[in-house]
Structure 1
C-alpha cells in the first residue's frame, strides 16, 4: 500500500540514537513552564508529553540555562539544570519517562545566555556580551564577559549535560550559534571585538562553542548526541536594523560563505546535527517568521548546509504544509522537519498526518499572539488557536453530565469554537449564520495572500464541525422571536462586530476595508486608507501588491499605535514593509472630507492639503454587534455573549473565550 507521506515517517539517526520519524518539535521559549527551583513544572511536563503522544519523533525543549551567576535570571523563569540538580533530575525524569512511553526521543536545549539581546534588569547591571557593544533594546552598553566567566559557563554546560543525561534526556541541543544569542555574538565579528583567544579569526570566535561541545562530550561520552541551533546568515543591515526578503543590502553579520565555513568547523568540533535557520534579533522576523514571510523560508539555507556538512540537518520555519515538508526531504535540503508553532496549534499534527487526516490539522496562523507575543507581555507560552496549549492539565474537556440543546447565533470564530467544544463534550449545538458561509470577520481578514492561514483556519472549522456532525444553518438570520420560541437550554450570541463608518461628505467613493477585501467594492488606482492599525496596514499592503498607489492617513503619531501585533517580529516586519513597498504615510493626520479630486487632509502643525484619490478605504475599527443580545438578556434564562459581540478583540480571545464558556457549560 503506497502512502504519499511515507518518507516523512521513515526513521533517522542523530549520532547514536534512532528517531522513529522525520519530525522534530522545534524549541520554543518555555516561559511559564518552569518552577522557582529551575525545574520543569507540571504544566511543562504535560506540554511536552502531549506532543510526544501526538506522534512527534523528537522533542526539543525550549531554552534552559546552564548557570545563573554570570547572566542572572529571575526565578521562576525557564528551567536551569544546575540550579537545583536533584530537583531538576527528579521532575525531568518524569517527563522523559512519559515521552519515551510514546517511542519519542527528547533533547534538552541548553543556553550559554542571551548576552546583548537580554533586556537590562536595571541600569546598574548591564547585559553581558563578547565586547562593549550596544544592547538590542535600549541605549545601554553591554559589559564584556571575562575569560574566567567563559570558562565557568563551559564548565556548567558539562554539569548541566550530566544532569540532563541522568534525567533521561537522549541528547542536548546547544543554544546557540544562531539568532544573535551569546554564542552567536562571539561567532560574529560585528559583535565580537576581542583581541584574546576568543576574538579575531573565525576559529577564535568559535572557540566558545567548541569548548562547550568538547566539555559535554568529555563529561557524557562521545556517543551522547550534542546538536546545535545554527544560523548561517544574519540579515543585519546595521545595529537594530534588519533586511527584508529580496532587499539588497550589505550584510554586517554572518554571511553565507562564512556561515558555510563556520558550519564545517562546528561539525568538525563534534556537533552531531545542525538545526538550521537564519536571522538575528536585529532582524527578528527571520528567526520568528510572521505570516508576511513565505512558507519554508529556511529551506534554501538548510540545503546549503546539507551540501556542506555530513551530519543531519533539521529545518523548521513555517514548515507545516506536509507537501512542502516532503519536497524538502526529497530534494535533499534536510533530514528532519522542525515544527514549532504548528505543534502549539495542534499537538496531534504528526499522528493526524500519518492517518491521512490532514483536513483536521488545526493551522498555526503565524500571528505570535499566543506564543512569543504573550511570552513577552505575560511571561507565559500559549497559543492563539489552541487554548489547551501549555495548559494541558488545566484546560481539558470533560464530558457533560447532561446533554443540552444550545442555539449559537453567529458562525464566526467564536461561534464555531463554541460549537466544536460543546459537541465534543456531548451537547447538541446548532449554529445559525445569516450569510452563506462560516468565518465572520476572518473572511475579509484572510483575503491578502499573506493571510493564507486565516483562510485555513476557516476551512479547519468547516471540516471539524462536519466531522463532528454539528448542525449548521446558513443563510438564516435569527430574530429575538425565533430565539424565544426555540425551546433550547442555552443561547450563545456570537454575532461579531461591524466596521465603523464615517460620513465624509460625498461617500460614493468611501468603502469599508471589509467590502474592498471581499470584492463587494472596487478600489480605484489611487487609494487613501483611513486608519493605520493592523487592518489598515495590511489592507494597504494588499492594495499596493495589486498595483494601487496607496496613502495611509493615521490620526496617531505612528502606525500600529493602536491594535497592532503584540509580537515585535510581526510588528517590526509590517512596519518595515510599508516604506519598503513605497506606501505613503501621513501620521498625526485626519481626513476632513472627500473632494472632487480626492480627500482633504488635516495634519497637525501644517495647513490642510488635498490628496488625489479614487477611493477612500475605512479601516478605523469595529463596533460590537450585540443588539440581539440586548433584546434577549432579560428574556432568556441562560444566555451567553461571546467574541467581538462582547468585546472587539482578536482571533485569540474569540477562541479562548468561546473555549472557556463552552468547556464549562
Structure 2
C-alpha cells in the first residue's frame, strides 16, 4: 500500500500551521442563490473540513459591484454581511478546518453592464463592453480589495486569497493583451504588474502578519499577449516581496482556446509551469488543475513541483478525500472524472453546482445522515450507474440489498463510455462503485436476468428497476441492412467498422462515437502529445505560453455525421467541454450535415435528403446513434402481476446516456426509502 508522507505532512504558512498539504480550491457554486443559503454554504464547507482537508478556499467574492461575476453574484463589501460569513467560518472551525476567503474581481468577464477593465476591449465570452478604469478608479479598486480583506478577517476567515489568474481583472492588468494603459499601471512590464503588487502590499499592511495572504498567479496565460514564463517568475518574486505568504497557481484564461481542466487534459499536465513559479520564490507554492488522486498529489510534492496541491472538483466528488488518504483507503475515494457536467456546465448555464458522482455536493442539508428507521430487503435490477448508486446508498442507510445484473460485469453503459478517448477517468468511477459494493457486502447476482417470479416471491420488501435503455432504431428503409450497426456494437468492440462511416445522430453519443472512430487516447494521457495538439509551448518562453499547433495526423477513417435538426451539430453538448470535442473533430475534417432526412441504407450506402435534394453517401457502415428507449419489459411484467416497482435512471427517462440524472435520482430514492 502506498504511503502519502508528503501530502500528509503539516506545513507552516506565515504564522498558520496547516495539518496537511491538501487544499480545497476555490470554485463557484451559486449556492447563495438557493433557499437557506447560509446554512447550505456552512454545511458544504464543514463537510470538507470534517473530511480533513488542510485548507479551504472559498468561492470568489467581489470587492465591489462592478466586479461581480453576474447580476446578484457574490460580493463582500459591507459589515452588514458579517453574520452570514460567520455562519460559514464557525462551521468550518468547529469541524476542525481552516478557511480562506477568495477576493475575485471579474473585470471584463463580469456579466454586468457596469463591468470594468484596464483598457477598452470586450471579452469574447461577454456581451458587455467594459469601462476602462481611470487612475483614480484603480486606486479606489485597490482600497476595495483592502476593505473586503479586512471584513473577511473580521468575519473569522483565516486569511484571504487575491485572485490574479484565469483572465479576471488582475490578470487583465498583467497581460499586454488587455493592458494598453499609458499611466503608472500600464506600458512596461513593471507598470502592468503594479496593480496586483499594490493590492498585495495594501492588504498585507491592513491585515498585519497573522492572517494568511495567498496570491493566485497565472502560471501560464495561454492567450496571445500573455506573460512569458520569465515574466511570471519575476512577478512571483515581487509578489513574495510585497507580502504574500503563499502563491497558488492558476492555468489559462477562460477565453483561451486551449483546454485547461477537462478530462481531455492529462493529469498534472501543467507541472512545468508550476515548477517555474516554485523555483522562483521561497514561500510555499500550490499546484492546481487536473490533480484528482492522492498518488498524483504526492508525486507533485515529492518531485519538487509544489509544496501543496489544490483540488476543487475532487472535493465535490468526495469531501473525505484527505481522510481516506490518511487512512490508506484510497480505493474508496470517489474520484472526480473531470466530466464538468454537474459543476462547470451548470455554473456556465446559470444553475447551481453539484457533482455527477456525488449528488450530495452542495445539497448536504437535503440528505439525512444515519440509518433508516426501518430496515428493508430491497432488490435492485440493473448494474449501471443508477442501480449501483442506489445499492450503495441504500446499504449505507442500513437496508439489505441484492443487485441483479444480466451481464457478467457491472457498469452498464459506463463500460462503453470508458472506451472513448478522453474518458479514461470513467475507469475510476467504476472502480469506486465496485469497491464500495464489495466493502458494504451488497449481494451481487451477475450473469443472469432477474425474473418476475424470483422478485415477487416474498423475498423483498421493495423492488427498484434500473434496467436502463435500448438504442432507438429509426424508422426508415434499410435499418436492418448489414451496413447499419448500433453505437453499442461499435463502442463495445463487437463490430469493427470500415474506413468510410456515417453517423446518424449528433448528440453526445454521436460525438463520442466520432471521436472513438477517429483517434486514440494518447492526447488525454500524454502531456507532450496534448501540448503538440493544442499549440502549447511547454517551455513557456513564448508570450502566453503558446506555440503553433502540430499538424493533425490523417484520420484513420472518413467520418460524416448527420442529424435531423436544422441547427449546428453539437449545439447541446456540455458548455465547458463541448467546444473541445467540436474543435478536435474540426481538426480531423469531420463532415457534418444538419437538417437531414434519412431515406434508406443499402449496398450503395446512406441515402438522405437535405433541402429537398437527394444524396447518396458511399459508406462501409452507418452507425445508429438516434437516441434510446427505456427498457421496461420487466416493469410491465411486474405491473401485470400487481406489483409496483420503482423506476430509476434510463428505465425511467431515456435521454442520451445521462449518468448525472441517473445517479442523482438513485441517491435521492435510496435516502427516501
TM over 0.5: yes
After superposition, residues 255-270 of structure 1 pair within 5 angstroms as 255-270=228-243
Query: What is the rounded CA distance, in whole Å, between the counterparts of 1:267 and 1:600 in structure 2?
Result: 66
Structure 1 pair 592–258 and aligned structure 2 pair: CA distance change class (3 A) = farther
The match for 2:661 is 653
Give the alignment partner of residue 337 of structure 1, picking from 294, 301, 309.
309
Give how far 1:259 is off: 2.7
In the alignment, does 2:168 pair up with 1:158? no
Query: What is the rounded CA distance, in whole Å, between the counterparts of 2:174 and 2:580 in structure 1?
Result: 25
Query: What is the rounded CA distance, in whole Å, between the counterparts of 2:596 and 2:33 in structure 1?
Result: 46
Residue-by-residue CA offset, 1:605-660 (whole Å, 9 max, x unaligned):
7551424x222222222111123223323644542111011112411110111111
User: Are the aligned partners of 2:60 and 2:103 in contact in 1 as well (CA < 8 Å)?
Assistant: yes
User: Are the aligned partners of 2:69 and 2:110 in contact in 1 as well (CA < 8 Å)?
Assistant: no
Structure 1 pair 584–486 and aligned structure 2 pair: CA distance change class (3 A) = farther
After superposition, residues 143-542 of structure 1 pair within 5 angstroms as 143-176=131-164, 178-236=165-223, 251-283=224-256, 286-287=259-260, 289-502=261-474, 504-505=477-478, 507-542=481-516
Query: What is the rounded CA distance, in whole Å, between the counterparts of 2:597 and 2:325 in structure 1?
Result: 50
User: Secondary structure of the residue that 1:656 maps to in structure 2?
Assistant: helix
The match for 1:10 is 9
Task: Name structure 1 gaps, 5 residues minimum.
Answer: 237-250
Query: What is the rounded CA distance, in whole Å, between the counterparts of 1:620 and 1:582 in structure 2?
Result: 22
Query: What is the rounded CA distance, in whole Å, between the counterparts of 1:73 and 1:470 in structure 2?
Result: 46
User: Are the aligned partners of 2:505 and 2:626 in contact in 1 as well (CA < 8 Å)?
Assistant: yes
Give how far 1:593 is off: 2.8
Query: What is the rounded CA distance, in whole Å, between the counterparts of 1:660 and 1:369 in structure 2?
Result: 18
The match for 1:92 is 85
Residue-by-residue CA offset, 1:444-463 (whole Å, 9 max, x unaligned):
11212421222221221111
Q: Which has the higher contact order (CA 8 A, sep 6+)?
A: 2
The match for 2:540 is none
In the alignment, does 2:590 pair up with 1:618? no
Give how far 1:164 is off: 1.6
Give how far 1:71 is off: 5.6
In the alignment, does 2:51 pair up with 1:41? no
Query: What is the rounded CA distance, in whole Å, between the counterparts of 1:269 and 1:431 in structure 2?
Result: 59
Query: What is the rounded CA distance, in whole Å, between the counterparts of 2:454 and 2:588 in structure 1?
Result: 50
The match for 1:242 is none
In the alignment, does 2:31 pair up with 1:32? yes
Give the alignment partner of residue 645 of structure 2, picking from 631, 639, 648.
639
The match for 1:110 is 103
User: Are the aligned partners of 1:57 and 1:103 in contact in 2 as well (CA < 8 Å)?
Assistant: no
The match for 1:558 is 568
User: Are the aligned partners of 1:35 and 1:41 in contact in 2 as well (CA < 8 Å)?
Assistant: no
In the alignment, does 2:61 pair up with 1:64? yes
Give how far 1:552 is off: 1.9
Give how far 1:569 is off: 2.0
User: Are the aligned partners of 2:29 and 2:343 in contact in 1 as well (CA < 8 Å)?
Assistant: no
Give how far 1:206 is off: 1.6
Query: What is the rounded CA distance, in whole Å, between the counterparts of 2:300 and 2:324 in structure 1?
Result: 20
Query: What is the rounded CA distance, in whole Å, between the counterparts of 1:169 and 1:472 in structure 2?
Result: 47
Residue-by-residue CA offset, 1:297-348 (whole Å, 9 max, x unaligned):
2222111211222222111212112222222112111111111101101000
Instruction: Tell me how many residue pairs correspond in the alignment.
Output: 633
Give how far 1:72 is off: 8.8
Give how far 1:483 is off: 2.7
Task: Tell me the C-alpha RMSD between the 2 structures.
Answer: 2.4
Q: Which deviates the most, 553-562 or 192-201?
A: 553-562
Task: Name structure 2 gaps, 5 residues minimum.
Answer: 521-555
The match for 2:557 is 548
User: Secondary structure of the residue that 1:231 maps to in structure 2?
Assistant: strand
Query: What is the rounded CA distance, in whole Å, between the counterparts of 2:318 and 2:333 in structure 1?
Result: 7
User: Are the aligned partners of 1:409 and 1:494 in contact in 2 as well (CA < 8 Å)?
Assistant: yes
Give how far 1:40 is off: 6.6
User: Secondary structure of the residue that 1:191 maps to in structure 2?
Assistant: coil
Query: What is the rounded CA distance, in whole Å, between the counterparts of 1:648 and 1:254 in structure 2?
Result: 48
User: Are the aligned partners of 2:649 and 2:666 in contact in 1 as well (CA < 8 Å)?
Assistant: yes
Query: What is the rounded CA distance, in whole Å, between the counterparts of 1:397 and 1:634 in structure 2?
Result: 36
Structure 1 pair 58–645 and aligned structure 2 pair: CA distance change class (3 A) = same
The match for 2:50 is 53
Query: What is the rounded CA distance, in whole Å, between the counterparts of 2:422 and 2:380 in structure 1?
Result: 31
Query: What is the rounded CA distance, in whole Å, between the counterparts of 2:612 and 2:227 in structure 1?
Result: 44
Residue-by-residue CA offset, 1:36-64 (whole Å, 9 max, x unaligned):
9xx97111111111111101101111111
Q: Which deviates the most, 21-30 or 498-507?
A: 498-507
User: Are the aligned partners of 1:30 and 1:63 in contact in 2 as well (CA < 8 Å)?
Assistant: no
Query: What is the rounded CA distance, in whole Å, between the counterparts of 1:254 and 1:213 in structure 2?
Result: 19
Structure 1 pair 69–140 and aligned structure 2 pair: CA distance change class (3 A) = closer
Query: What is the rounded CA distance, in whole Å, between the counterparts of 1:412 and 1:309 in structure 2?
Result: 49
User: Are the aligned partners of 1:55 and 1:350 in contact in 2 as well (CA < 8 Å)?
Assistant: yes
Give how far 1:216 is off: 0.8
Query: What is the rounded CA distance, in whole Å, between the counterparts of 1:456 and 1:267 in structure 2?
Result: 38
Query: What is the rounded CA distance, in whole Å, between the counterparts of 1:585 and 1:294 in structure 2?
Result: 28
Query: What is the rounded CA distance, in whole Å, between the counterparts of 2:133 and 2:360 in structure 1?
Result: 41
User: Are the aligned partners of 1:232 and 1:263 in contact in 2 as well (CA < 8 Å)?
Assistant: no
Q: Which deviates the most, 337-346 or 9-18?
A: 9-18
User: Are the aligned partners of 2:8 and 2:19 in contact in 1 as well (CA < 8 Å)?
Assistant: yes
User: Secondary structure of the residue that 1:329 maps to in structure 2?
Assistant: helix
User: Are the aligned partners of 1:34 and 1:44 in contact in 2 as well (CA < 8 Å)?
Assistant: no
- TM-score for the superposition, normalised by structure 1: 0.90
Give how far 1:397 is off: 3.3
Query: What is the rounded CA distance, in whole Å, between the counterparts of 2:68 and 2:429 in structure 1?
Result: 41
User: Secondary structure of the residue that 1:616 maps to in structure 2?
Assistant: strand
Query: What is the rounded CA distance, in whole Å, between the counterparts of 1:140 and 1:388 in structure 2?
Result: 35
Query: What is the rounded CA distance, in whole Å, between the counterparts of 1:284 and 1:56 in structure 2?
Result: 32
Residue-by-residue CA offset, 1:382-417 (whole Å, 9 max, x unaligned):
112212111222223342221111111111111111
